[in-house]
Structure 1
Amino acid sequence: MTTSPAQDAPSRDTSASFLGPVDLTGMDALFSAEEKQLALDVRALVDEVIRPNIADWYDRAVFPTEIVPELGRLGVLGMHLHGYGCAGRSAVEYGLAAQELEAGDSGLRTFVSVQGSLAMSAIHKHGSEEQKRQWLPRMAAGEAVGCFGLTEPGAGSDPASMTTTARQEPGGDWVLNGTKRWIGLATLADVAVIWAQTGEHGDGRGVRGFVVPTDTPGFSAEAIAQKLSMRASVQCEIRLDGVRLPADAILPADSALGLKGPFQCLNEARYGIIWGVMGAARDSFNAVLDYAHARTQFGTPLAAFQLTQAKLADMAVAINKGYLLAHQIGRTKDAHGTTPAMISTGKLDNCRVAIGIARDAREMLGGNGITLEHSPLRHANNLESVRTYEGTDEVHQLTIGRALTGIGAFTAAGVRP
C-alpha cells in the first residue's frame, strides 16, 4: 500500500531554529547557546541599521562609515584574534558573524574581512610587538581602519609577478614604488599593509610586508568607480611614489618571508567567505519564500505551485549542505587547523551555491526582482565579486588538484609549486 507523503509526513516546524525555515536538517543543534546568541546579536545590528538603509547605500554607491564604531563595539573586528583588544572568539563564532553580516550585504562582511582577516591578521601574525600595540587595539575598536595591498593591475591570481618594489637604502630606510589595485578600504584606511618585492630572491620569495601609515608622503588611493557589484563598499587603486618608511616598518617575523606571509592572511579571509556567502544565500531564500506566500497568480499563492516548491526545495537542500560544510571546516579549524585544500573546497563550492541561489531567487521574483526593494539580485551582483576575490574558482580548483595529485599546475607548464 502506498501513502501520500503530503498527508502522512507533515513538515517539521523549523521556526525555533535560529537559522529559520531553511533549517531542514536540525543544524540549530550543532551550535551552542553562546554561539547562537552571538549570531543573533550581529543579526540585531543588521536588522536595525543595515536593512533599512542598504538599498539607498547600494544605489548611491556609498559605504556607511558611521557603522564602523558600531562594529567595533560589537566585537567583530579582528574577533578571531587574541589580545590587543581583540575578542578572541572561535573560528565558528567568526563564521556565524560573517554569515549574519553578509545576509545584510556582502560589502559589510567584506569590511570586517579586510579589517580583521587581512590587515589585522597580518600585523597580529607577522608584526613586531610595537606594531601590534600601535595598531591592533584601535583597529579592534573601529577607531582606525586598515587595508591590505597585495593585488596589482597585472598581478591578480599570480602575486609572485608583482612589480611593486621595496628598496632599502644605506641608512636603513625602505622606499616603496608601485601600484596596487582592487584594494578594499584604501581611501578610508589609516594604515595599509603593503606587500612588495625586495629583490632578495626571485619567484616571490623576496616578497615582504610593510606597515604603511596612509598619511606617509607618496601614498595615494583612489576609489574605483562605476562598479556593477559591491556598490555599498569601497575598492581602490593605490599608488606608491617613493614612499619612504623607517627600517622598522617591515613585518619582521619569519612567518612573513615570501608569499607565505600574505597567503596565511588570505586563508583567514577565505574562511570567512565560506560562511558569509551562506548568509547571502539564506537571505535570498527567505526573501523569495516570503514573496511566494504573499504573491498571488491565477488566483493561487505562488507557494502553492509545484514548480515553486521544487525550486524552494532545491535551494534549501543546497543551503543546508553549504552550512554543514562551513560547520565542518570551522570545527576543524578550531580543533587543530585547516589545510589550504579544505579552505579552497569551502570557498569554491559555497560561492557557486550562493550565487546560483541568489540568481534563482531573482528569477522567482519576476520583474519585481530587478528592483532594490528585494535583496536577491543585489546579493547575486555582490557575489560576482566575492566569487572572484580571495582566489578565483580556477585558483581553488588547482589548489584542490594539487592536494589530490601532488602536482602544482598553477602555470601552463605545471611547474610552480
Structure 2
Amino acid sequence: MSGLNEEEQALVNAVKEFVGRDVLPVVGELEHDNIYPEKLIETMKELGLFGLTIDEPYSPGRVSTACFARVSEELARGWVSLAGAMGSHSVIAYLIGRYGTQEQKEKYLPGMATGEIRSAMGLTEPGGGSDLQSIRTVARRDGDDLVINGSKMWITNARRAGVIGLLVKTDPEASPAHRGMSIVLVEPGAGFTVSRDLKKLGYKGIETCELSFEDYRTPATQILGGQPGLGFKQMMGGLEIGRIQVAARACGIAGAAFDEALKYAQERETFGLPIWKHQSIGNYLAEMATKLRASRLLVRDAAESLDRGERSDMEAGMAKLYATETAAQITLDAMRVHGGYGYSLEFPIERYFREAPLFLVGEGTNEMQKNVIAKQLVDRGGVPR
C-alpha cells in the first residue's frame, strides 16, 4: 500500500522513528501545558520536513504528494500540532513555487525549505469562514505600494511566520468578487499586529491567532505572481494539497486512537475474557479498522491524482470529508472501548478526542466539501472508474 520510492519510504521511516523516540515521551506534558515544541520543531527542520513541497533548486527534498501525506500522518500520530506547524507553511511554499515570480521564489523558497523562514496562511476572517469571496481585508494601491486594512482569524504559525500568504481584495468592486482577490506575501512590519492568541479545545502548543492590519504598507510586487485578481484561483489550487494534508492528519489521529484501543482491548479482561472477545467491543474494532483503511486509501488516491497533474478538488474533498468524519468517530469509539480510563488524563485517548473535531471545520467545513463533491459529480458525469 506504500506507492513510495525507496528514498521517500526512508523519509517516512525516519519520521516514524522521530515520533517514537522524541515526540511520544513528551507530548502529554507539552500538550496539556500548551508549550511550544521548540526542540521538536528544530528536529523537523533537520529532517527537511519544511521543504517537502518545494522544488529544486530551492530544496533538495521535494517529495510526491503521497509521501507528503504519509509524513503528515506519521507526525499527527505523535502530535497533530506538529503536522499543523508544517501544514499551512507547506501550502504557502507550494503556492509560491507554483505561481510566484522568479524574484519571489528566490527570496522566500530557500529559507522556507530549511524552516528558517516559516510561513502562515491568512484566509479566514472574524466575520466569515467558508465564504471566502466575502472577505473584507482590502489592499488599495498607493503608487508602487499596497496599503492593507482588515483582520484575519484562526491563523496558525502567526507569531513565528516570516511571511504570510494573505488573501485580500485588491479590487473590492469586482464582480464576481473572486476576480478582485489577490494573495499578498506580507512580512511583519509597522501596521501589522498579532492581536491575540485564541484559546482552543485541542491543537495546543502551536499558536493560533487573530491578525490586524491598519494601514500596513508593502510593495505591490508582493502580490503572488505579480498580477492582481488571481488570488482566489491560486488559493483554491493550494487548498487541494492542503485538504489532502488535513485528511492525512486525521488518519494520524484515527490511527493512534485505534492502536490504543486495539492494545487496551487485548490487555483488559472482563468476565474472564479479553474484552475484544466480547462481540460489542470486537465490532467496534472491526468498524474502526475498516474505516481507517478506507480513509488512508482515499488520501492516497487524492494524492496520486494531484501528482498526475489532474484536477483533484473532488478527490481531495472526498478524502478530507471521509477521513475527518472517521477520525471523530474513531476517537469517540476508542473512548468507549477504554471505558472510564478513556476519560482519564492517564491515557492519550482524551487528547485525540479533543483534537479530532478541528478537522471537521478546518480547511473548509465538511458541509462545504459536500458541495464541492456534488458539483464535480455533475460536471464529471459521476464517480470516475
What is the CA-CA distance between 1:140 and the residue it aligns to? 1.5
Q: Is the 8 A contact 2:155 2:209 kept in 1?
A: yes
Within 5 Å, which residues of 2 pair with 1:76-115?
76-83=49-56, 84-85=58-59, 87-115=61-89
Q: Does 1:205 align with 2:179?
A: yes
CA distance in 2 between partners of 1:74 and 1:371 (Å): 34
Q: 2:205 aligns with which of 232, 243, 258?
A: 232
Residue 167 of structure 2 corresponds to which residue in structure 1?
A: 195
Q: Does 1:363 align with 2:343?
A: no
Cα deviation digits, residues 49-91 of structure 1 (max 9, x gap): 2111111121112231332232122122130321212511111
Aligned alpha-carbon RMSD (Å): 2.0
The verdict on how the C-alpha distance between 1:240 and 1:86 changes in structure 2, with shifts beyond 3 A counting, is farther
Q: Is the 8 A contact 1:127 1:251 kept in 2?
A: yes
Residues matched between the structures, number = 377
What is the CA-CA distance between 1:239 and the residue it aligns to? 0.3
Q: 1:252 aligns with which of 210, 217, 225?
A: 225
Within 5 Å, which residues of 2 pair with 1:216-295?
216-253=189-226, 257-295=230-268
Q: Is the 8 A contact 1:221 1:236 kept in 2?
A: yes
5+ residue gaps, structure 1, are 1-26, 408-417
Q: Does 1:163 align with 2:136?
A: yes
Residue 40 of structure 2 corresponds to which residue in structure 1?
A: 67
- Runs of 4+ aligned structure 1 residues displaced above 6 Å come to none
Cα deviation digits, residues 141-172 of structure 1 (max 9, x gap): 12121111111011210011100010111x31
CA distance in 1 between partners of 2:254 and 2:367 (Å): 22
Residue 121 of structure 1 corresponds to which residue in structure 2?
A: 94
Q: 1:343 aligns with which of 308, 316, 331?
A: 316
Q: Is the 8 A contact 1:106 1:382 kept in 2?
A: yes
* TM-score, scaled to structure 2: 0.92
What is the CA-CA distance between 1:244 and the residue it aligns to? 0.7
- Name the SS for the 1:284 alignment partner: helix
CA distance in 2 between partners of 1:125 and 1:253 (Å): 13
Q: 2:124 aligns with which of 146, 151, 167?
A: 151
CA distance in 2 between partners of 1:254 and 1:239 (Å): 24
Cα deviation digits, residues 266-290 of structure 1 (max 9, x gap): 2111011222211211111111111
5+ residue gaps, structure 2, are 381-385
Q: Is the 8 A contact 1:79 1:116 kept in 2?
A: yes
* TM-score, scaled to structure 1: 0.85
Structure with larger Rg? 1
CA distance in 1 between partners of 2:374 and 2:228 (Å): 25
Q: 1:175 aligns with which of 142, 147, 152?
A: 147
Q: Does 1:184 align with 2:153?
A: no
What is the CA-CA distance between 1:130 and the residue it aligns to? 2.0
Q: Does 1:372 align with 2:345?
A: yes
Letter in 1 for 2:102: E
CA distance in 1 between partners of 2:11 and 2:366 (Å): 31
Cα deviation digits, residues 179-206 of structure 1 (max 9, x gap): 0001111012122121111126231211
Q: Is the 8 A contact 2:53 2:94 kept in 1?
A: no
The verdict on how the C-alpha distance between 1:362 and 1:96 changes in structure 2, with shifts beyond 3 A counting, is same
More helix by percentage: 2
Q: 2:290 aligns with which of 311, 317, 324?
A: 317
The verdict on how the C-alpha distance between 1:282 and 1:308 changes in structure 2, with shifts beyond 3 A counting, is same
Q: Is the 8 A contact 1:329 1:338 kept in 2?
A: no
Q: Is the 8 A contact 1:179 1:239 kept in 2?
A: yes
CA distance in 2 between partners of 1:33 and 1:247 (Å): 43
What is the CA-CA distance between 1:395 and the residue it aligns to? 0.5
Identity %: 29
CA distance in 2 between partners of 1:63 and 1:305 (Å): 42
- Name the SS for the 2:225 alignment partner: coil
CA distance in 2 between partners of 1:179 and 1:86 (Å): 36
What is the CA-CA distance between 1:253 and the residue it aligns to? 4.8
Residue 383 of structure 2 corresponds to which residue in structure 1?
A: none
